[in-house]
Chains A and B, each alone.
Chain A
C-alpha cells in the first residue's frame, strides 16, 4: 500500500534528463532507501517527490490527488523534506528552527498553539537538543546542526518524510539513533524515504531498497531480494562478496576491489 505514486517520471534540468521513465510507489509504514552511484538521480527523484522540481513528463500523486492540484501548504502538511545542502541561517536559534517546522499547520502569522508547542518540545527531546535549544544555529557543530534540522522535519509531523543524506555530519552513534528513529517513524505509519550512501547501513535499517542507475530504476524490493554481487558490479562498479550480516541477518557487502574501467557498460 502506498500514499505516494510516481508514474513514468522524466525529470531534468534544462535539456538534460536526469531521471527517465521512472515508476515507483514507496510502501507506507516502511523505510525506503534510495541507493545508487553519484549522479544517478536519487536526490533529483527525492526533490520531485518534495515538489522542489517539476517532472517534465509523467505523474505524481499523493493519496490519489495529482500534485498540481495541491497548494504549497496542503502539500507541506503531508510531505516533510530535509534537503541535502542546508544553509546556516544567521540569527536563528535551535528552538526557532524546530518551531518553523510547524508553519504548515499553524496560523499564517506563525503563532504556536499548545499542540504546536508540544510537537516542538517532543521533536527536540527526540533528537537530544534540549540543552542546545536556545543556542544560535550558527554556533553549533555540523552534526548538532543536522540534528536541529531533523527535529524541524520531525515537528512538521507529515505522513511522508523525505530525507536527503541525513546521516552526513553525524557521528556513528547519532547515525544509529537516526536510523532507529526512521524505523520508529515508519512504525507509526509514516512513509519514510531516504537517500543513503552506505549500502550496508541501507540494507541493515531499510525495509525497502530502490536501486537507481543512470536515471533509471534498476531494482526495487527488500534488501535480501535486491542485493547481489552481480548488481553491485553492474551498478557500482565494485567486486563484492555478499555475506549475511551477523547481527540482523541482512545482506552485507564486503568490497574486494573496484572494477571501474574493466567492465562492460550496462
Chain B
C-alpha cells in the first residue's frame, strides 16, 4: 500500500531527524554515544555531555516534534472545515492572534494569576483572530471566493503583529525576551514546555482524528455533508476548539512558527488524495518532520549562532504559499 509506505517513510524520517538533532550542530562537541546515554539513561551515565543532551537536547527535539505535530494537525483541520487549501493557522491570523494574547500576558498588561493563564490567553487571542477573520472573510458563505479569507487573515495577522509590537514597546522591561520569543525559536525550551505541549497535542490530535471522517464529507460540500448526517455547526465548533488548543499550545511553548500547517497537509495531498483519516495523522507526523528539520537548519546556517526556527519555516513556506496560491486562487 502506497499510503502505509508513505506513513512509514515519514515516521522514519522524523525519527532520524530527532536522533540527529540530539548531537548535531551543538556549540559543544557531543558524540552519538553521549546522545544515546542522554536519551536512554537521562544523562545518569556518560558525564557532562550526556547530561546536556538529557537536559537540553531531548526536550528541545521533543518540543520541535510536538510543535510541528500541533501545527500540522491544526492546518489539516482548518483546511478541512473551510474546504480551502490555503487555510492554515498563520495565514488566517490565528498564530498572530495567539502571539498577541501571550504578549499581553507575559508583559503583565493582562494579569491572570493562575496556572494555565498563559495558555488561556494565547487561546483567547487565537479565538478572537479566528472569529474576526472568519466573519470578515465570509468563511461559511458558499459563494465567497477562496482568496477573501486569506486576505482577511493577512490583514488581521498584520494588525495583531502591530499590536504585539506596541505591547512590547510599552513594557520595556521584558522587551528583549519577548522579542526573541516572537521570532519563533526553540533555543530556550526545556522540560516545562514539553509538559505543556504533550497533553495538548494528545487531546487535540485525538480530537482531530475523531473529526476526520466528517471532514471527508464536508469536502463534498455542506449540503451533501448535512444530508449524510454531519452536524455542521457542532463540527465547526469542535474544529475551532481543537485547532485553538493546538495552535495555542505551540505558540505558548515556542512562539509563532509559520507555514507548517500550510505545507504539511498540502504535500501529503499530492500523494494520499483527500482522505482526512490519513491526512490528519500524517500531517502531524510531517509537521513534526518539518519543524525538526527547520530547527536543525536553524542551527546549521550560521553555526555556531542560532537563527530562529520560525525564520527557516518562513523562508521555505512563503515560496510554497505563492506556488499554491497560483494554483488555488
Contact = CB atoms under 8 A, between A and B. Distances in A.
Interface of A: 47, 50-52, 71-77, 79-81, 83, 85-87, 89-93, 96-97, 100-101, 103-104, 108-110, 149, 156
Given A90-B274, A109-B277, A100 B228 contact: yes
Q: Which of B221, B229, B275, B277 has the most CB of A within 10 A?
A: B229
A213 B231 CA distance: 32
18 contacts: A72-B230, A74-B229, A76-B228, A76-B229, A79-B227, A81-B224, A81-B227, A83-B221, A87-B220, A89-B274, A91-B269, A92-B274, A97-B220, A100-B228, A101-B228, A104-B228, A108-B213, A109-B277
A110 B275 CA distance: 11
B213 A75 contact: no
Contacts of A77: 229
Contacts of A90: 219, 269, 274
Contacts of A73: 229
A51 B213 CA distance: 21
B41 interface: no
B226 A72 contact: yes
Contacts of B220: 87, 89, 92, 97, 100
Nearest to A72: B231
Contacts of A91: 269, 273-275
Contacts of A100: 216-217, 220, 228
Nearest to A75: B229
Q: Which of B83, B210, B223, B230 has the most CB of A within 10 A?
A: B223
Contacts of A71: 229, 231
Contact of B223 (A74, A79, A81): A81
A81 B221 CA distance: 12
B273 A83 contact: no
A243 B273 CA distance: 53
A58 B195 CA distance: 54
Contacts of B274: 89-92
Interface in B37-88: 83
Given A85-B221, A90-B274, A91-B273, 19 more contacts: A50-B223, A51-B226, A52-B226, A52-B227, A71-B229, A72-B230, A76-B229, A79-B227, A83-B227, A86-B224, A87-B220, A89-B221, A100-B216, A100-B220, A101-B228, A103-B217, A103-B229, A104-B228, A108-B213
Contact of B227 (A50, A93, A96, A110): A50
A89 B83 CA distance: 9
Interface string B211-241: 0010011011101101111110000000000
Contacts of A76: 227-229
A79 B227 CA distance: 7
A173 to B, nearest CB: 26
Contacts of B217: 100, 103
B195 to A, nearest CB: 31
Interface of B: 83, 210, 213, 216-217, 219-221, 223-224, 226-231, 269, 273-275, 277
A205 B226 CA distance: 29
Given A83-B221, A89-B219, A110-B213, A103 B228 contact: yes
Contacts of B224: 81, 83, 86, 149
A90 B219 CA distance: 8
A183 B199 CA distance: 55
B262 to A, nearest CB: 16
Contact of B228 (A87, A89, A92, A156): A156
A52 B229 CA distance: 11
Given A72-B230, A75-B229, A104-B229, A47 B219 contact: no
Contacts of A51: 226-227
A101 B220 CA distance: 11
Given A109-B213, A110-B213, A92 B219 contact: yes
A72 B229 contact: yes
A103 B213 contact: yes
Nearest to B230: A72
Contacts of A87: 83, 220-221
A92 to B, nearest CB: 6
A22 B223 CA distance: 23
Contacts of B83: 87
A104 B229 CA distance: 6
B223 A52 contact: yes
